[in-house]
Amino acid sequence: MSYKTINLCANDRSFLDRLTACTADEGAPYPEGETQRLRWIASSADDIEAAYASAVAAENPDPGGDESVITDGMILSVVQANPAPA
């Protein structure tokens, strides 16, 4: 795990847009707020961080937007495991 990679992912616009889409699809009334709450949790998830780090090392130009790097299922797993506080 690398804090640098987590930071890159947490600030990757393509990744954040996908995270927002996921929270919206899961019924969040304010998806952008959920994205802000989850961005660091998702970026530091072991599977997401490892995939992102590998893509950066391979010089992938869009690791956060590339569904073959970080799958929708990986994002969904984080969203569902971290429901919004009541």
Distance CA 5, CA 22 (A): 21
On whether residue 53 sits in a domain, the answer given is: yes
pLDDT class of 10 with cuts at 50, 70, 90: very high
The angle formed by the CA atoms of residues 54, 7 and 81, to the nearest 5 degrees, is 85
Distance CA 54, CA 50 (A): 6
pLDDT of residue 24: 97
Distance CA 56, CA 74 (A): 18
Q: Roughly what angle, to the nearest 10 degrees, separates helices 3-10 and 13-25?
A: 60
The yes-or-no verdict on residue 85 having pLDDT over 90 is no
Residue range of the domain that includes 66: 3-81
Note whether 43 and 10 are within 8 A (CB). yes
On whether residue 71 sits in a domain, the answer given is: yes
pLDDT of residue 20: 98
pLDDT (tens digit, 9 = 90+) per residue, 38-60?
Answer: 999 999 999 999 999 999 999 99
On whether residue 86 sits in a domain, the answer given is: no
The yes-or-no verdict on residue 18 having pLDDT over 80 is yes
On whether residue 76 sits in a domain, the answer given is: yes
Whether pTM > 0.75 for this model: the answer is yes
pLDDT of residue 7: 98
Tally of domains within the chain: 1
